[in-house]
Amino acid sequence: MRAVPRRLTLATTAAAITTIALTGAAVLVATTAHAATGCRVGYSIGSQWPGGFTGNLEVTNLGDPLSTWTLRWTFGGGQQVVQAWNAEVSQSGSTVTASNVSWNGSLGTNASTSFGFNGSWNNTSNPAPSDFTLNGVACTGSANPTTGAPAPTTPAPTTPAPTAPAPTTPPPGQTPTGIIGWATQNGGTTGGGNASTTTVTTAAALTTAAGATGAAVIRISGTITCSGMIRIRDNKTILGVGTNATLSGCGLTINGNRNVIIRNINFRNWADDAINVEGNATNIWIDHNSLTNGYDGAIDIKRGSDYITVSWNRIFGHDKSMLLGHSDDNASQDIGHLRVSYHHNWFDGTNQRHPRVRFGNPVHVFNNFYGGVTGYGIASTMNAGVLVEGNYFENTADPYHLGEGSSGPGSLVARNNHFVNSGNGQTGGSVAAIPYSYTLTTPSQVKSVVTNGAGTGRIGL
Q: Is 440 part of any domain?
A: yes
Q: Is there a single domain that holds both residue 186 and residue 134?
A: no
Greater confidence (122 vs 266) lies with: 266
Q: Is there a single domain that holds both residue 217 and residue 101?
A: no
Catalytic positions, written as ranges: 353
Q: Is 159 part of any domain?
A: no
Q: Is 225 part of any domain?
A: yes
Q: Is there a single domain that holds both residue 247 and residue 129?
A: no
* DSSP tag of 320: B
- Give all strands (DSSP E) within 33-152, no chain letters: 39-49, 52-61, 70-74, 80-85, 88-92, 95-99, 112-120, 130-134, 137-138
Strand-pair partners of 342: 310, 365
Which residues are CB-contacts of 99 (< 8 A; sequence separation ≥ 6)?
Answer: 68, 69, 70, 71, 87, 88, 89
pLDDT in tens, 371-400: 999 999 999 999 999 999 999 999 999 999
The pLDDT, as a whole number, for residue 311 is: 98
Q: Count the domains in the chain.
A: 2
> Are the beta carbons of 83 and 57 closer than 8 angstroms?
no
Q: Is there a single domain that holds both residue 109 and residue 215?
A: no
Alpha helices by DSSP H, listed for 178-309, are 203-211
Which of 138, 165, 199 terminates a domain? The answer is 138
Q: Is there a single domain that holds both residue 295 and residue 413?
A: yes
Least confident of 130-144, 195-209, 225-239, 411-425: 130-144
Q: Is 144 part of any domain?
A: no
Its domain, for residue 122, covers 20-138
Share of the chain above pLDDT 70, in %: 82
The H or E element containing residue 252 is strand 246-255
User: In this structure, what are the phi and psi dihedrals at residue 344, rounded to the nearest 5 degrees?
Assistant: 55, 35
Model confidence at 124, pLDDT cuts 50, 70, 90, reads confident
The pLDDT, as a whole number, for residue 394 is: 98
**25 pLDDT exceeds 90?**
no
> Are the beta carbons of 26 and 7 closer than 8 angstroms?
no
The secondary structure of 20-52 as a DSSP string is: EE--------GGGTTS--BEEEEEEEEEEETTE
pLDDT in tens, 130-187: 999 999 999 988 654 333 333 333 343 333 333 333 333 444 556 777 899 999 999 9
Least confident of 30-34, 121-125, 158-162, 210-214: 30-34
Q: Is there a single domain that holds both residue 117 and residue 232?
A: no
Model confidence at 53, pLDDT cuts 50, 70, 90, reads confident
Q: Is there a single domain that holds both residue 134 and residue 200?
A: no
Greater confidence (284 vs 56) lies with: 284
Q: Is 368 part of any domain?
A: yes
Q: Is there a single domain that holds both residue 88 and residue 192?
A: no
CA gap 337, 411 in Å, rounded: 16
The pLDDT, as a whole number, for residue 232 is: 98
Specify whether the backbone of 307 is left (phi greater than 0), alpha (psi in -120 to 50) or beta: left
Which of 78, 105, 138 terminates a domain? The answer is 138
pLDDT (mean) for 363-378: 98
Q: Is there a single domain that holds both residue 284 and residue 430?
A: yes
Q: Is 12 part of any domain?
A: no
CATH number at residue 70: 2.60.40.290
Q: Is 54 part of any domain?
A: yes
